[in-house]
Amino acid sequence: MVTEIKHELVKIIVANTEYAVPSNLTIMKALEYLGWRLDRGVGCRAGFCGACSTIYRLQGDHKLYTGLACATMVENGMLIAQIPISPANKKQYNIEALKAEPNTMLEYYPEIAKCISCNTCTKACPMDIEVMDYVQAALRGDITQAALLSFDCIMCGLCATRCPAEISQFNVGILARRLYGRYIAPKYKQLDKRVKEVEKGIYDAEIDKMIKAEKKQITKLYNARVREKD
């Protein structure tokens, strides 16, 4: 069943130099194909970490595109540059001392008031997040909405790179999510109860008994477990 697949070559331009690479490669794999052993702009290689933010243009097209090098396929005439680190505005706070109030977001990131609703951040997002909408939610003081809309953020910084109002959207997002998670989402009461039980040591004796048990005994116990229904 194995068939030799010959992929056509496409022309990419990296560091203003033209190279031919197979068309089935991601930008990241194309760089390795060129002989580069990466130590920048590389991370999880699976679209989760935001280390490989990349900007590019296509031949004959005036637009500036954004993407993750690990998840974007090369295209013919692609002019590529990577942004391995995003210089962003990150405010420091003590989460325990914050209040989830309508003006909290604005207090820490007043620049969100400068948002001109151009939607460039949303267009730049490789995770297809409605970035402008969560910035607007933060501006309105709707922490819940800002948290929920920004949840998938991988903090790659491409939004911040493109923002004409110089907002560091991804840091606004994490503040909203932490406020939501700590102060707005309902608490898991059974978890409090279990923590107290553990701290009192009420499970220790049962576990210690298993630790001391003979292999035969513990094997019997394990094999006799009944799986809770799905």
Partner 1 sequence: MTVDPYPDYMRESINKVEKTRDKRAKETIDQCSPDEITDVLNNFHPDFIKEQKTKLRFGVSKGEVVPLEVAKIVETKSVLNPKAIDLKKIDFDTDILIVGGGGAGANAALWALKSGVKPENILIVTKLRMGDSNTTMAQGGIQAAVRSVDSPAIHYLDAYGGGHYENDPPLVKRLVRDAPLVLKWYEELGMMFDKFDDGTMDAIHGGGTSRKRMHFAKDFTGAEIMKTLRDEVFNNNIKVLEFSPAIELIKDENGQVAGAVLLNLDSKEYIVVRAKATILTTGGFGRLHIQGFPTTNHYGATFDGCIMGYRAGAPLKLMKSVQYHPTGAAFPEQIVGLLVTEKVRGKGAQVVNKNGEQFCFPLETRDVEASLLIRECVGKNNGIVTPTGQPGLWLDSPLIEVIHGEGTIEKNFAAMVKQFGRFGVDMIQDPILIYPTLHYQNGGLAINENAETKIKNLYAAGEVHGGAHGSNRLMGNSLLGISVFGRAAGISAAKKVGKVTLGKLTLAHVGQYNALCDEHKVKNPPSPIIFPDYTEAKHKDRILPTDFLI
- The residue type found at 158 is L
Binders of partner 1 among residues 208 to 227 (CB under 8 A) are: 208, 210-211, 215, 218-219, 221-223, 225-227
**44 binds partner 1 per the rule CB under 8 A:** yes
- Closest separation in Å from C-beta 118 to partner 1: 24
Nearer to partner 1, 116 or 198 (CB): 198
**194 binds partner 1 per the rule CB under 8 A:** yes
Contacts of 132 (CB under 8 A, 6+ apart): 115, 117, 118, 119, 121, 122
**118 binds partner 1 per the rule CB under 8 A:** no
Nearer to partner 1, 62 or 227 (CB): 227
**CA of residue 162 relative to chain centroid, distance:** 17
- Closest separation in Å from C-beta 116 to partner 1: 27
CB < 8 Å & 24+ apart, contacts of 60-69: 64/162, 66/123, 66/124, 66/125, 66/126, 66/158, 66/161, 66/162, 67/27, 67/126, 68/126, 68/156, 69/26, 69/27, 69/28, 69/31, 69/41, 69/42
Segment contacting partner 1 (CB under 8 A): 8-16, 32-40, 56-64, 109-117?
A: 32-40
Segment contacting partner 1 (CB under 8 A): 102-110, 115-123, 132-140, 146-154?
A: 146-154
Nearer to partner 1, 67 or 162 (CB): 67
**9-14/78-82 β-pairing:** parallel
Distance set, CA 188 to CA 61, 179, 181, 183, 192 (Å): 52, 16, 11, 12, 7
Alpha-carbon distance of 160 to 142, in angstroms, equals 21
Give the binding-site size for partner 1 (rule: CB under 8 A): 81
**185 binds partner 1 per the rule CB under 8 A:** yes
- Closest separation in Å from C-beta 54 to partner 1: 14
**207 binds partner 1 per the rule CB under 8 A:** yes
**49 binds partner 1 per the rule CB under 8 A:** yes
**108 binds partner 1 per the rule CB under 8 A:** no
Segment contacting partner 1 (CB under 8 A): 12-20, 55-63, 111-119, 204-212?
A: 204-212
The secondary structure of residue 38, as a DSSP letter, is: -
Contacts of 76 (CB under 8 A, 6+ apart): 10, 11, 23, 59
Binders of partner 1 among residues 7 to 26 (CB under 8 A) are: 24-26
Quick check: 86 and 157 in contact, CB under 8 A? yes
